[in-house]
């Protein structure tokens, strides 16, 4: 009886020694490329307002904003929650909202100054807002995300306002005859094709040709021809400078994640997202609105 019990115990011990936990239960670390673009700044109003700055752009594929070095892909772990926020565009005279992926934050674009009759200046942000007419208080961009806004070159008595900065270039200065054109954005191929994001909003003026928004969703400014326009949705484009209307805004931001196609993403409620699987062994998830968590299996 005792011997039989001992033999059984040894058999069980051997059995448990050979037991293996399924590898699918282990946490797995892998690299994820990202594009994080914040909401664009609103354009200034009241007289000749400045153009809104583009939302900050941080990216690991092709190029990033502000002339900075390409960002490094983020190491993520399966079954771990990561916060994602897509920043909204700023209303007139207001900065855009930040966009976030895990530890990566892009700053909302700075607002355009109301007009030269105000002394608050343009807003700082991912890219800086442009000044109102007869003002040099431009908004400053964030290093590695975007560029400064333009001024009106007040020393020459210019009545054209400055444009918003973009992820790829400073906003143009206004002149005596024209508002500045918005700073251009930056192109990335993270989605599988080249798309340009984060262009600055054009300035405004009483006359001259219409100030144009920068490439990458920047809105046009107003002059004696044309009307001011919002930054494009999901580009982080800055809003065009205006004179009276407060119904236009900067463009909302976007977050794009690129990761191995052996992984499956889980997107929580509160986020609007789509996932594609381009050739090359990767999946691409594009998140266009909301705040929530993502995780991978």
Distant-in-sequence, close-in-space partners of 244: CB < 8 Å, separation ≥ 6: 45, 46
Q: φ and ψ at 12, to 5 degrees?
A: -65, -40
Tell me the domain boundaries of the chain: 29-297
pLDDT at 21: 47
Instruction: Look up the pTM and report it.
Output: 0.90
Residue whose C-alpha is closest to residue 165's, from 152, 151, 179, 184: 184
Burial 76-105 (b: 16+ CB within 10 A, else e): bebeeebebbbbbbbbbbbbbbbbbbbebb
pLDDT at 117: 59
User: Residue 18 corresponds to which tokens in the numbers above?
Assistant: 């050979």
pLDDT at 243 over 90: no
Distant-in-sequence, close-in-space partners of 17: CB < 8 Å, separation ≥ 6: none
148, containing H or E segment: none
pLDDT band for position 114 (50/70/90)?
confident
pLDDT: which is higher, 246 or 250 = 250
C-alpha dist (Å) from residue 193 to 117, 197, 237, 276: 44, 13, 19, 13
């Amino acid at each position: 009886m005792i011997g039989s019990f001992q033999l059984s115990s040894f058999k069980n011990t051997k059995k448990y020694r050979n037991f293996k936990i399924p590898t699918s239960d282990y946490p797995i670390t892998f690299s994820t490329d990202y594009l994080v673009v914040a909401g664009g700044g609103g354009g200034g109003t009241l007289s000749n307002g400045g153009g809104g700055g583009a939302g900050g752009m941080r990216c690991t594929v092709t190029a990033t904003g502000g002339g900075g070095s390409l960002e490094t892909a983020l190491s993520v772990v399966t079954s771990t929650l990561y916060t994602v926020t897509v920043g909204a565009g700023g209303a007139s005279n207001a900065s855009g909202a930040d966009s976030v992926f895990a530890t990566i934050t892009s700053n909302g674009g700075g607002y355009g100054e109301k007009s030269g009759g105000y002394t608050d200046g343009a807003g700082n942000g991912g890219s800086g807002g442009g000044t109102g007419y007869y003002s040099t208080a431009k908004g400053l961009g964030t290093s590695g995300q975007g560029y400064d806004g333009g001024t009106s070159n007040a020393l020459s008595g210019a009545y054209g306002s400055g444009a918003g900065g973009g992820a790829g270039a400073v906003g143009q200065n206004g002149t005596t005859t024209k508002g500045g054109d918005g700073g251009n954005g930056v192109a990335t191929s993270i989605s599988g094709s080249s798309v340009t994001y984060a262009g600055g909003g054009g300035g405004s003026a009483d006359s001259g040709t219409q100030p144009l928004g920068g490439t990458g969703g920047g809105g046009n400014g107003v002059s004696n021809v044309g009307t001011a326009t919002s930054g494009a949705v999901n580009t982080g484009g800055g809003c065009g400078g205006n004179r009276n209307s407060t119904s236009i805004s900067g463009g909302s931001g976007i977050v794009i994640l690129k990761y191995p196609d052996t992984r499956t993403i889980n997107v929580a409620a509160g986020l609007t997202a789509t996932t594609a699987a381009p050739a090359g062994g990767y999946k691409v998830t594009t998140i266009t609105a909301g705040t929530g968590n993502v995780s991978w299996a």
